[in-house]
Structure 1
Amino acid sequence: MTCITPSRIAALTRLRSSIFQTSYNPTSMRTGAKYLRRRLQGPSMMQYYPLEVDFAALNRANPGWNLIDRDEQQRLQDIEDRKKRGKGTPTKAKNKGEGRRAQRKR
């Protein structure tokens, strides 16, 4: 029985990978090829979840309809009520000196 040298085996592997269009990876490094070959999940998920249609999208698509979203109206009313009681969101700082940290350091 003849002994085949490792260099001949490496040359054969390199030639085989070029013929069959596979990646030549003699050091067995992780390449992620298994995950790159896998089927994409995005299209399946888009088919599974139904398309959500909201009032804002319908109003943008059809300007003459003027549909009223009751939940959005209620949300805006709640925000306005909170602002009247002083519980609204704080105003953003226009520059670095107006920030909360800068006021605390003084």
Structure 2
Amino acid sequence: HCDRGCQYVSEAFHKATEGMIHSYSKKAYPWDNACIESFHALLKREWINRFKIFNYTHAYKLIFEYIETFYNTVRIHSHCGYLSPKEYEEQYLKNLETAVTSLAS
């Protein structure tokens, strides 16, 4: 998903991304991709800017490491009640199990 910048609507971009589905923000509506823009800012500020990236594979590994070992497991999120997504899911499953057990009794 991207904005309507000239680089994304150019013939060269369309040729390079042939076979992919293109997704664009609505014209003059920057809020379309605010969530992912916020995530990209966090990713850069908290992780990527600490490293010198050597190639695509290195970048891929760094991003995977950030998401799987920090963002989803350690970093707290306000929408999860200031728990990490992992802690939130564990709490949710525990509450669900308790509710099911009490219904079965």
- For normalisation by structure 2, the TM-score amounts to 0.25
Q: Which protein is bigger by CA-based radius of gyration? A: 1
User: Which structure's relative contact order is higher, taking Cα pairs within 8 Å and 6+ residues apart?
Assistant: 2
